[in-house]
Amino acid sequence: MKLEALGITKTFGLGKDHRRVLDNLTLKVEFPHVLALLGPSGGGKSTLLRVIAGLERPDGGEVLLDNEPVPFRDQPVSALRTYRRRLGVVFQAFNLFPHMTALQNVVLPLTAVHGIPEKEAKERSLGIMKRLGLSEHGEKLPGQLSGGQRQRVAIARALAVKPKFLLFDEPTSALDPEMTAEVLSLIAELRQEGIPMLLVTHEMGFARKIADQVAFLANGRVLEQGEVGNFFSKPQTLEAQRFMAKVLAY
Ligand code: ADP
Ligand code: MG
């Protein structure tokens, strides 16, 4: 699978509050790999991930998945919805519906978005939840689950749609260390299954272990991209060197 973001520009706000968050950004990557997207806070990582996921429309530039442009401007909007359905996205803050059980949270996108019959959706969801060690928790509400369990439900929901591509935005940043380990080991298992992944993370040790490639994003641009070992041992740009010195000293 090939992903290209070409000349992406995204600004927020107007007048003097206007802010260019992605600045003619270019990123090209060939999966079946894990790409870790690293960089300082506020650099534009989440915005880029949302653009790639088809959740945010760029002001300029285009995203191509396997040479197919993401239809940000096409009418009907359903073309963009179709694109989004092929992806699984996991955010920092779970985004589960609090009034629905864990199982209902996994089933809902299958029935409501993908039009899969209830019975089949439920069977598929139960299978995935079992695989992720969630069998005992299907009937619980998100509020009755630990943070790590909630994030596993969010991952189950992303996987249930059989995505072509998984995107994670700091999936462990709201978790304590034990829960973090639990979720990271699950992501490592998914890597074994060969699902292409784009992972924004602060967990440098994990990024180093799991990623094949690193893209370093700061000030709205990808300043460097390369094989993970090279990036960690010898970042090329001054910005990346400073960033790594800071995070590794911590
Ligand atoms: P990162 O994930 O690397 O920390 P973000 O993409 O979240 O960076 O944010 C980059 C910048 O864009 C930040 O200054 C943030 O405040 C701003 N930003 C992000 N989303 C919005 C939005 N919807 N409206 C206004 N500003 C935003
Ligand atoms: Mg972010």
Asked whether the predicted pLDDT for residue 177 surpasses 90, the reply is no
Asked whether the predicted pLDDT for residue 77 surpasses 90, the reply is no
pLDDT (mean) for 150-161: 90
How close is the Cα of 44 to the center of ligand 1, in Å? 6
How close is the Cα of 219 to the center of ligand 1, in Å? 11
Asked whether the predicted pLDDT for residue 17 surpasses 90, the reply is no
pLDDT (mean) for 79-93: 87
Is residue 44 lining ligand 1, measured as CB closer than 6 Å?
Answer: yes
Mutation probe of ligand 1 site: the residue of 21, 48, 200 with most atoms within 8 A of C-beta: 21
pLDDT in tens, 29-69: 997 789 999 999 999 999 999 999 999 999 999 999 999 99
How close is the Cα of 80 to the center of ligand 1, in Å? 22
Residue of 10, 32, 42, 93 lying closest to 243 (CA atoms) = 42
Cβ 63 vs Cβ 8: under 8 Å: yes
Long-range Cβ pairs for the range 187-194 (8 Å, 24+): 187/155, 190/155, 190/159, 190/166, 191/34, 194/32
Asked whether the predicted pLDDT for residue 106 surpasses 70, the reply is yes
pLDDT in tens, 134-152: 999 999 999 999 888 898 8
Asked whether the predicted pLDDT for residue 76 surpasses 80, the reply is no
Calculate the CA 147 to chain-centre distance: 18
Asked whether the predicted pLDDT for residue 192 surpasses 90, the reply is no
How close is the Cα of 41 to the center of ligand 2, in Å? 7
Asked whether the predicted pLDDT for residue 82 surpasses 90, the reply is no
pLDDT (mean) for 205-222: 94
Is residue 47 lining ligand 1, measured as CB closer than 6 Å?
Answer: yes
Q: How many CA atoms lie within 13 A of 176 on its CB side?
A: 4
Q: What is the structure's pLDDT at 250?
A: 66
Is residue 12 lining ligand 1, measured as CB closer than 6 Å?
Answer: yes
How close is the Cα of 47 to the center of ligand 1, in Å? 6
Is residue 225 lining ligand 1, measured as CB closer than 6 Å?
Answer: no
Superfamily the domain 2-86+167-249 falls into: P-loop containing nucleotide triphosphate hydrolases (3.40.50.300)
Between CA 241 and CA 250, with CA 247 as vertex, the angle to 5 degrees is 135
Residue ranges, CATH 3.40.50.300, the chain = 2-86+167-249
Point out the ligand nearest to the CA of residue 217: 1
More confident residue, 82 or 59: 59
Burial group, residue 38, by CB count within 10 angstroms (0-12, 13-18, 19+):
buried
Q: What is the structure's pLDDT at 238?
A: 95
Report the C-alpha gap between 183 and 178 in whole angstroms. 9
